Amino acid sequence: MLKIEQLVRCNRRLLQNVYPLVSGDFTSHCRKFSSNSENKNKNEFSYMNDSRNNKQYVLPLLSALGVSIGVGIYYFSNRNKRTLIAASPCTEVESLGGQPIRGLPLYTLKDVAKHSTKETRIWVTYNQGVYDITDFVDEHPGGSIIMMAAGGALDPFWLIYGLHKGTAILKMLETYRIGNLSQKEAKDNIKDVNDPYSADPKRHPALIVNLTRPFCAEPPSTILTESFITPAELFYVRNHLPVPEVDPAEYNLTIGGIGVKSTEMSLNDIKQFPKHTITATLQCAGNRRMEMAKVKPMKGLSWSVGAMGCATFSGAKLRDVLISLGYDECNTKAKHVQFEGLDLDPANNPYGASIPIEKAMDPKGDVLIAYEMNGMPLLPDHGFPVRMLVPGNAGARSVKWLGAITVAEEESNTHWQRIDYKGFSPSTEWENADFESAPAIQALPVTSAICDPTENDTVKVINGKITLKGYAWSGGGSKIVRVDITPDCGKTWYVADITNQETKNAPHHWSWSLWKAEIPIKTKDSSIEVWVKAVDSSFNTQPETFENTYNFRGVLANAYHRVRINLKH
Amino acid sequence: MLKIEQLVRCNRRLLQNVYPLVSGDFTSHCRKFSSNSENKNKNEFSYMNDSRNNKQYVLPLLSALGVSIGVGIYYFSNRNKRTLIAASPCTEVESLGGQPIRGLPLYTLKDVAKHSTKETRIWVTYNQGVYDITDFVDEHPGGSIIMMAAGGALDPFWLIYGLHKGTAILKMLETYRIGNLSQKEAKDNIKDVNDPYSADPKRHPALIVNLTRPFCAEPPSTILTESFITPAELFYVRNHLPVPEVDPAEYNLTIGGIGVKSTEMSLNDIKQFPKHTITATLQCAGNRRMEMAKVKPMKGLSWSVGAMGCATFSGAKLRDVLISLGYDECNTKAKHVQFEGLDLDPANNPYGASIPIEKAMDPKGDVLIAYEMNGMPLLPDHGFPVRMLVPGNAGARSVKWLGAITVAEEESNTHWQRIDYKGFSPSTEWENADFESAPAIQALPVTSAICDPTENDTVKVINGKITLKGYAWSGGGSKIVRVDITPDCGKTWYVADITNQETKNAPHHWSWSLWKAEIPIKTKDSSIEVWVKAVDSSFNTQPETFENTYNFRGVLANAYHRVRINLKH
């Protein structure tokens, strides 16, 4: 297994020489993913295999992103394996959607432009396809932002929201198809659009890429338990928009809202506040979606267990900053603190999210305006030069490339707050979901994972035992009090040793707990399934399966982690 | 169904005329319990049925407790039903234990008194039995307190710790049997002991009694959802020792410990602090043990879903009182705040428990030194005149009849803190449990229950639907965000309407949420099993079953609540 130190060292010579990385122990890790490729729901997802043409995919990718061939090859080899495992309909498939269809009427861009309201019907184009999406706009998961494309082309928007270029969405789009556009006009639609992702930074090749635009990637799980502190280069990345280029000398944070004196702060201004360093685990609300997607296909990135990491973050306490600007804790009008990023969508609207005022102002809530990660300036992918850190909460609330803070009565108005990142009952679907009344995800539930071995690994039984390693964590400041492992589907449970854990007490314990378990093997079977569940300081534990906690967004996927391994007796 | 108002009104005339209560709608509720009596684990628990003789039991009970015949009859009729449902080995069975056994040597009290140390072997007597318990003392769940009986009789202690008089413990005791005591000496052992429970108050006859000494009882579940605020008379009671008689004019609270000026406070002194009123749900950590006990028999009271209630509590904030006595929040030596009750064990040691200093000092933690419940002075069973209220935590930490508060480095040294009320892994048993390292239960996990209908009720399908009512709650200040119901074992989930909920936000939401659900019935089956699970503001949810969360103490029993009901189509 390639160790973290090697990987971080490798990163420095990435541009000079990446090829050697894709070899040895590290490629054996890749092979693990490859061996996962058995698709248990073949009928449901077989279209994904059919529609994939790796060469078609990887070549435009390389040119479009301008990354090195080494990274591309790594990406290709891993990416290919991941899509076979996952049930995500969000895979990028360039070959689908908007191909001319014989027998449909030919429209011009001028024709399309006449259809931009519900009254005139709402038309859009994608590639050479023309679509009447009037009946869809109210159901659009991203909300009214879709109306920006009304009477025009989707293509420039989807350059930013790359998530749309998945089989499921492209297929759904075709159900609204009404006509064709000429090849020339389709090209005109995108010829003046610069690649919004061209300024994205180089990434560490060890990251397993889930989506390139916006960039979303996780480290291999076996690396996660190597170190209590995850190196920033290997920390999962979940961007929602292109990475903005911010000059720290020009950096400006706008602060205002209820009970707060409107202010602009430079990076240096922020650094004048007492510097606090917090060790915290961040987790994407969609971590482990890959497992939940086995119940039913769903929208969202196909994360394995690695959309999670633990780092130290240093910065000013949001509480200190707000109080310095006159905020009075007895203020009862303020309910939320909204954050805006400097990352912009095609209409120049920033990424945004909010947290409840209770969390923001809790003297022990440790919400930071952070400018360092693991003692260094933030990396571009992690919010350089300034990001929020909201420990205990879903990663989506720790807004990166922080541009503005607003104390408000209402939650952030972005769809990331109001629509995305919400949990629903298993039988609720997009069509009948009441996004308005469902609460936004803030604190995350207890979870755990077996990081090493991974699915289908072969493990040697030594002195009648096998060794497992993994993580456990609970949101909201809860601390892990126990990790239980069973090698026989719950007949026998063993308590794992917690090998790394901070001493801080609940409910202000933000970091994860790493564990190790030596499990007696009493069977002579050639393979077993091992399960892990964690228990936190409120004695909450994980649900047993995903069937009864399924939600159509695939968030909050915290059921027992189950890994099938081969035994070498 | 008898309504709460009626029940409370009835209480006032309890001593004059109790008989009418045990009739009409209320007895039909009792019948519900009766119809629950199917014992699914007949093999495991059949000894309980064999050993029970209701007449033998109820007559000594009536004379010993001196309660009215009306209460006795109610108690008897309910008690009988409950024991058939439950799997608890802790049922009081007077006829077992200490009967003379032919062929064993006859010892005198003098002989026994020579065996009071490990070196001389530790002997005790119970009734006419003589036992060598040397090999058991280290395993005693109650800790070293057992050594107080070394060389003497258990009988006076068990008058207080009535829980011991259960089949399982009496049977286990017999495995240490070495001889007999004469009948005369056995009588001498208890003749001078006054009944320590003679001063216990009268209780509301609607309470379903789990244990009389100490008194432990819960209201029928159907009553719980009648009102957001549970009347004090119907609030579950979980006493650990006899109820002390405290004269409020003489009441004295001793406060001291790390960083605090040692003080005595009268009730009037406490009332000088700002009065805060908190609505909070209290729950026994063993609530719903009855369900977990179906997995495997266990020690502990056989609670149904009613060891839980919601009330307003008024009093001084512990934080305010400690700060007034000089406690500095920056003190890093203090780790716990210990509470002692005025209820005493046979050696005059009080009931005691502690909470972490973080909870005690949290400005929003709402820990109260409470002197009112639902706007009235506390009832004797609920801690008159002063008790702790630790909202969000296990009821055991809200120490009643408060006698002392001590800020300390260590947890309370009582076995209720150090041994009882701890959670363990499913495969851990008494013998291999590490009580030292297991954390004491403080905040409780998310739970919910269907309160109406109850098991085996017949429910009319009206317009294709049935109506269910119940509660949901989560400890640690979490708020319920959703309650899911399934009438078909998880194939379809319906979201219940939350009918009563406070607006306070997590993590400072202490009260429960009442819910109601109208569930479509699509089956023609004559009976179905309905399940409920709740989701809290950290999106923690309940475990599906008790099998994988079983613990030998039967605490933290928060799996899905499942109720089988008959349908009238």
Cβ distance of B494 and A425 shorter than 8 Å: yes
Tokens of A361: 């102002």
Say whether B238 is catalytic: yes
| pLDDT (average), residues B212-231 | 95
The minimal CB distance from A507 to the residues B476, B490, B544 is found for B476
Asked if B495 reaches chain A (Cβ–Cβ under 8 Å), the answer is: yes
Q: What are the residue ranges of CATH 3.10.120.10 in chain B? A: 106-191
Q: Lowest-pLDDT range, A412-416, B189-193, B369-373, B430-434?
A: B189-193
- The CA distance from B559 to B541, in Å, is 9
> Catalytic: which of B10, B284, B310, B451?
B284
* Confidence at residue A5, expressed as pLDDT on a 0 to 100 scale: 52
The minimal CB distance from A444 to the residues B439, B486, B539 is found for B539
Q: Is the peptide bond before A385 cis (omega within 30 degrees of 0)?
A: yes
* Confidence at residue A162, expressed as pLDDT on a 0 to 100 scale: 77
- Give which of A124, A130, A134, A133 is closest to A107, Cα–Cα: A130
B426-437 burial: b if 16+ Cβ within 10 Å, else e: bbbeeeebeeee
The CATH T-level fold of domain A447-568 is Immunoglobulin-like (2.60.40)
Question: How would you class A434 by CB atoms within 10 Å of its CB: exposed for 0-12, middle for 13-18, buried for 19 or more?
Answer: exposed
Asked if A443 reaches chain B (Cβ–Cβ under 8 Å), the answer is: yes
Averaged pLDDT score across all residues of chain B: 84
Q: What is the least distance, in Å, from the CA of B419 to any CA of chain A?
A: 16
Measured between beta carbons, the chain A residues lying within 8 angstroms of B478 are 476, 538
Non-local (6+) Cβ contacts of A31 within 8 A are none
Which of B538, B542, B553, B558 would best serve as a mutation to test chain A binding (most A beta carbons within 10 A)? B538
The minimal CB distance from A539 to the residues B356, B426, B445 is found for B445
Question: How would you class B23 by CB atoms within 10 Å of its CB: exposed for 0-12, middle for 13-18, buried for 19 or more?
Answer: exposed
Tokens of A250: 């020009």
Measured between beta carbons, the chain A residues lying within 8 angstroms of B542 are 543
Measured between beta carbons, the chain B residues lying within 8 angstroms of A540 are 445-446, 538, 540
- The CA distance from B467 to A204, in Å, is 56
Q: What is the pTM of this model?
A: 0.79
> Catalytic: which of B82, B213, B238, B508?
B238
Cβ distance of B439 and A537 shorter than 8 Å: yes
Q: Contact at 8 Å (CB) between B484 and B239?
A: no
- Give which of A473, A76, A124, A556 is closest to A300, Cα–Cα: A556
Q: Contact at 8 Å (CB) between B181 and B168?
A: no
Place of tokens 């023309």: A130
> Catalytic: which of B52, B140, B276, B564?
B140
Say whether B421 is catalytic: yes
At residue B52, does pLDDT exceed 90? no
Tokens of B294: 């179906």
A324-351 burial: b if 16+ Cβ within 10 Å, else e: ebebeeebeebbbbbbbbbbbbbeeebb
The minimal CB distance from B540 to the residues A446, A486, A547 is found for A446
The minimal CB distance from A540 to the residues B428, B482, B540 is found for B540
pLDDT tens string, chain A, 569 residues long: the values are 445 555 444 343 332 332 222 223 333 333 333 333 333 333 332 222 333 333 333 333 333 333 333 333 333 333 333 332 233 333 333 446 888 998 999 999 999 999 999 999 999 999 999 999 999 988 887 777 788 888 888 887 887 787 787 788 888 899 999 999 998 888 887 776 678 888 899 999 899 999 998 999 999 999 999 999 999 999 999 999 999 999 999 999 999 999 999 999 999 999 999 999 999 999 999 999 999 999 998 878 999 999 999 999 999 999 999 999 999 999 999 999 999 999 998 788 999 999 999 999 999 999 999 999 999 999 999 999 999 999 999 999 999 999 999 999 999 999 999 998 999 999 999 889 999 899 999 999 999 999 999 999 999 999 999 999 999 999 999 999 999 999 999 999 999 999 999 999 999 999 999 999 999 999 999 999 999 999 999 999 999 999 999 999 999 999 999 999 999 99
* Residue B345: band (very low, low, confident or very high) from pLDDT cuts 50, 70, 90: confident
Asked if B444 reaches chain A (Cβ–Cβ under 8 Å), the answer is: yes
Alpha helices in A86-233 (DSSP H): 109-113, 155-160, 167-174, 183-191, 221-224
The minimal CB distance from A425 to the residues B364, B445, B482 is found for B482
Q: Contact at 8 Å (CB) between A61 and A71?
A: no
Measured between beta carbons, the chain B residues lying within 8 angstroms of A425 are 482, 484, 493-495
The CATH T-level fold of domain B106-191 is Flavocytochrome B2; Chain A, domain 1 (3.10.120)
Measured between beta carbons, the chain A residues lying within 8 angstroms of B472 are none
* Confidence at residue A6, expressed as pLDDT on a 0 to 100 scale: 52
Measured between beta carbons, the chain B residues lying within 8 angstroms of A442 are 537-538
Dihedral, CA of residue B125, residue B126, residue B132 and residue B133, to nearest 10: -120
Say whether B29 is catalytic: no
* Confidence at residue B359, expressed as pLDDT on a 0 to 100 scale: 97
At residue B43, does pLDDT exceed 50? no
Tokens of B131: 């036992």
The CB density around residue A563, as the number of other CB atoms within 10 Å, is: 23
- The CA distance from A494 to B425, in Å, is 8
Q: Lowest-pLDDT range, A32-41, B18-27, B332-341?
A: B18-27
* Confidence at residue B96, expressed as pLDDT on a 0 to 100 scale: 66
The minimal CB distance from A538 to the residues B364, B426, B476 is found for B476
- The CA distance from A501 to A513, in Å, is 5
Q: Look up the CATH superfamily of B241-282+306-420.
A: Oxidoreductase, molybdopterin-binding domain (3.90.420.10)
Q: Contact at 8 Å (CB) between A291 and A529?
A: no
Find the angle CA(A267)-CA(A271)-CA(A277) to the nearest 5 degrees.
Answer: 120
At residue B165, does pLDDT exceed 90? no
Tokens of A318: 């949001």
Measured between beta carbons, the chain A residues lying within 8 angstroms of B444 are 538-539
| pLDDT (average), residues B235-245 | 97
Q: Which residue has the higher pLDDT, B562 or A436?
A: B562
Asked if B522 reaches chain A (Cβ–Cβ under 8 Å), the answer is: no
* Residue B44: band (very low, low, confident or very high) from pLDDT cuts 50, 70, 90: very low
Measured between beta carbons, the chain A residues lying within 8 angstroms of B545 are 544
What is the count of residue pairs from A and B with beta carbons less than 8 Å apart? Answer: 125
| pLDDT (average), residues B317-334 | 96
Say whether B327 is catalytic: no
Q: What are the residue ranges of CATH 2.60.40.650 in chain A? A: 447-568
Say whether B161 is catalytic: no
Which of A478, A537, A540, A558 would best serve as a mutation to test chain B binding (most B beta carbons within 10 A)? A540
**Polymer length in residues for chain B:** 569
Dihedral, CA of residue A410, residue A412, residue A413 and residue A416, to nearest 10: -140
- The CA distance from B182 to B487, in Å, is 60
| pLDDT (average), residues B273-277 | 98
Please name the residues between 345 and 384 in chain B that touch chain A, using a CB distance below 8 Å. Answer: 356, 358, 362-364
Helix (H, G, I), strand (E, B), or coil: what is residue A296?
Answer: coil
At residue B48, does pLDDT exceed 80? no
Question: Taking CA atoms, what residue in A is nearest to B496?
Answer: A425
Q: What is the pLDDT of residues B357-410, one digit of tens each?
A: 999 999 999 999 999 999 999 999 999 999 999 999 999 999 999 999 999 999
* Confidence at residue B431, expressed as pLDDT on a 0 to 100 scale: 85
Q: Contact at 8 Å (CB) between B427 and A494?
A: yes
Asked if A548 reaches chain B (Cβ–Cβ under 8 Å), the answer is: yes
Please name the residues between 105 and 144 in chain B that touch chain A, using a CB distance below 8 Å. Answer: none
* Confidence at residue B34, expressed as pLDDT on a 0 to 100 scale: 34
Q: Cα-atom radius of gyration of chain A, to the nearest Å?
A: 24
Please name the residues between 229 and 258 in chain A that touch chain B, using a CB distance below 8 Å. Answer: none
| pLDDT (average), residues B63-80 | 33
Measured between beta carbons, the chain A residues lying within 8 angstroms of B549 are 541
The CB density around residue A125, as the number of other CB atoms within 10 Å, is: 24
